[in-house]
Chains A and B, each alone.
Chain A
Amino acid sequence: MSEVKFSKDHEWILPDGDEATVGITKHATEMLGDIVFAELPDKGSNVEKDGTAGVVESTKAASDVYTPVSGEVLDINQTIVDDPSKINEDPEGSAWFFKLKMKDVSELESLMNKDEYDKFAKENAS
């Protein structure tokens, strides 16, 4: 079974073979506050590890969403574009952002596991 991994930019990624689902963490949503806008990459586009792959905006500010690994965007979650408040409600579940066909599965190795991320998030909480 694949393990969910986390990036320092507060994204989570759940691998499944050479595909993966990406979203932003609950910690990220708590820092952002109420999310009122989401922009996702185009289906079929290629995204580069740690590159921009979308935007979320709260009432306060805009924040880029980065992709933790490189790959081709297979699918996007239109429901969070239509109703961004869903991201606050279930960020690590139904409010996933996009699905990828990973270019290089070994890129996952540089990411954190849950315990490491929780520690990282705690240390970096503002």
Chain B
Amino acid sequence: MEIKKTSLNKLHQDNKAKFVEFAGYEMPIQYSKGIVEEHKLTRSHSGIFDVSHMGQLFIYGDKTLTEDLEKIFPLNLKNLNINSSKYTFLMNEDAGIYDDLIITKLEEGYLIILNAACKDNDYKILSDLLKNKYKMNLDDKRSLIAIQGPKSVEILDSIISGVSELSFMTGNWFEYKNQKIFVTRSGYTGEDGFEISIINDLAEEFTRKLIDSGAQLVGLGARDTLRLEAGLCLYGHELGVDKTPIEANLKWAISKDRIVNGGFIGSDKIMSQISEGTKQIRVGIKPEGRLIAREKTKIFNETELVIGEITSGTFGPSVSGPVAMGYVKKEFSKKDTKVFLEVRGKKYPANICGLPFYKKSYVKGAIK
């Protein structure tokens, strides 16, 4: 199958991107500055991420659509305000996660942002579940650009006036060159920022404008170190069909009334796991020293018993040390539990720790 390219591919090339294939797309892993530099400038200033490979699924409908989506997602969508977003999951009957996603309620329906590797399957699952009752558009005419970091609000507001008034996890339609763009105050780096859905024809020139205003391109490499420091899950690593939201320690994302009343796909499993507990749970893991423990590294307790496995691990440039997440048996999940990581045949000490590794600085209310 031919590798797909986003509308920003030429811009990436002009900025000396190193490319990798990711979910069938040619995506920049880094630019000339390198991952550590790109990571740090996102934390201190403003980074631009091409996330156009992700799915933008528009589903059009009214009250009945809300009711039908509540049978799928563990959210109270009836009470969700127009233009508000929620993080949630598409699950199977056993609460295994097909995808994690952000859903935003619109006047005309819903916008769902899906992982690139899952989007086609998600579309199929959702259209089956909704029995083709609603118009669905997995929109490939739109690009998705994230701008993240403390200076992003100033930079984006200078181009799209009014975005600074959005509060965290809300969005709205704005206009750019007579075209409608949808901007949400969200992201996946642990920083304040925005995601901008814009038609492909305008994506490159819009991004160049962000660059001219002081933001810099950041690749998928730094996106990974940023989200890991922020303790955020990545599908295919922390999340998959073999994991439930409760095991992934993401109970907070399930609306409280839905936990009580159920009625969504996977709710029986979720409710039983909440009352009975799970065997394993996602935790943060901090290796001692500088050792980096990658995905699939086995985790041992002090008596050499395997108690879990790392799902993501790297060097965190903002915490200046190694960081990891993984799953361990519940009885070893307490903060400060001493564990051992087997790397290249040797066991190295590490500690179970709280998440995030790097404290978020999301904007809660609107800045006037």
Residues of A within 8 A of B (CB): 33-34, 36-37, 55, 57-62, 81, 84-85, 88
Pull 18 A–B residue pairs with CB atoms less than 8 Å apart, ordered by A.
A33-B30, A33-B221, A34-B34, A34-B37, A36-B36, A36-B292, A37-B291, A37-B315, A59-B36, A59-B39, A59-B224, A59-B317, A60-B29, A60-B35, A60-B314, A62-B292, A85-B36, A88-B34
A33 and B292 within 8 A (CB): no
A58 to B39, CA, bound (A): 14
Give the residues from 25 to 47 in chain B that come closer than 8 angstroms, CB to CB, to chain A.
29-30, 34-37, 39
A59 and B225 within 8 A (CB): yes
Known: A33-B221, A36-B315, A37-B315. A59 touches B290 (CB 8 A): no
- A84's contact among B34, B225, B290, by CB below 8 Å, is which? B290
> Within 8 Å CB of A61, what residues of B?
294
A59 to B318, CA, bound (A): 12
A55 to B344, CA, bound (A): 10
A33 and B35 within 8 A (CB): yes
Known: A36-B36, A37-B315. A59 touches B291 (CB 8 A): no
Residues of B within 8 A of A (CB): 29-30, 34-37, 39, 221-222, 224-225, 290-292, 294, 314-315, 317, 322, 344
> Within 8 Å CB of A58, what residues of B?
35
A36 and B290 within 8 A (CB): yes
> Within 8 Å CB of B221, what residues of A?
33, 59-60
> Within 8 Å CB of A85, what residues of B?
36
Task: Give the Cβ gap from A47 to chain B, nearest Cβ, in Å.
Answer: 15
> Within 8 Å CB of B322, what residues of A?
36-37
> Within 8 Å CB of B314, what residues of A?
59-60
4 nearest CB pairs, A to B: A36-B315, A34-B36, A59-B35, A34-B34
